[in-house]
Structure 1
Amino acid sequence: MRRATSLLCFLIVMLCGTVAMAASPVNADGYYKGIKLCGRVKVVEHFADIKVKVVDSFPDLRVKVVSSFPDDVGEWQFVEYGEDFTVQFVESFPDIKIKYVNSFPGVE
């Protein structure tokens, strides 16, 4: 009986982890609705391509702010013009959640 309970608990934990991973709006290649999440980013107040919430845990994307060559997923260079996509920082109803990091940017 104890072994069956342990096995059931293990299966539930694995199922919950799989569901949580599948629920991420950012795919494994680092795209959100066709937008590759790297490059030059402009912060706007309205009509953004992506609404973003900054979190400390369970982000969809780890973001490293760089000053040049934002070529890898999760590397963002904030600019005023010539952007690849725009973001609006929100507290409620974000499209994606990000966490700022100093190393290892990318998809969780």
Structure 2
Amino acid sequence: MKKLLSFCLGILFTSTLVAGEVGSDCTFKGKKLSGKVQFVTSFPDFKVQIVDSFPDLKVQKVNSFPSDCGKWQEVTSFPDFKVQIVTSFPDIKVKYVDSFPGVP
């Protein structure tokens, strides 16, 4: 019984500490991870942690044509998705890059 309980608790804590995986089609939770993004403090589509290593997605900030995977154009209205920047318990981890955005 103790082994089963510790196994279940281990799975629970491990799954909450690891960020989600971005699909090879550049989607997460059914949302395409390119396009116009609005940074919010509440009610995001997903939470993002900015990291320097081992990202789930490499993101390039652009001013126009955010159509490729990982290219984000910041907007204040009519976003394709909303993101909240967090320091812990993210849905995905991203690294900002100057070139070659996308799934690592």
Q: TM-score, normalised by structure 2?
A: 0.80
Percent identical: 58
Residue deviations 1:73-103 (CA, integer Å, cap 9, x gap): 1000000001000000000100000000000
Give ranges in structure 2 of 5+ residues lacking alignment: 1-18
Give ranges in structure 1 of 5+ residues lacking alignment: 1-22
Indicate the residue corresponding to 2:44 in structure 1: 48
Indicate the residue corresponding to 1:93 in structure 2: 89
> Does 2:65 align with 1:69?
yes
Aligned equivalents of 2:27, 2:96: Cα separation in 1 = 18
State the Cα distance separating 1:107 from its structure 2 match. Answer: 0.3
Aligned equivalents of 1:28, 1:43: Cα separation in 2 = 24
Over alpha carbons, which structure has the higher Rg? 1
- More helix, by proportion: 1
Residue deviations 1:34-88 (CA, integer Å, cap 9, x gap): 0000000000001100100000000000000000010001000000001000000
Aligned equivalents of 1:24, 1:52: Cα separation in 2 = 10
RMSD (Å) for aligned C-alpha atoms: 1.1
Question: Which of 21, 24, 27 is the aligned partner of 1:28?
Answer: 24
State the Cα distance separating 1:24 from its structure 2 match. Answer: 5.0
SS at match of 1:41: strand
SS at match of 1:64: strand
1:47 partner letter: F
Aligned equivalents of 1:73, 1:58: Cα separation in 2 = 17
Q: TM-score, normalised by structure 1?
A: 0.77
SS at match of 2:93: strand
2:63 partner letter: S
Indicate the residue corresponding to 2:55 in structure 1: 59
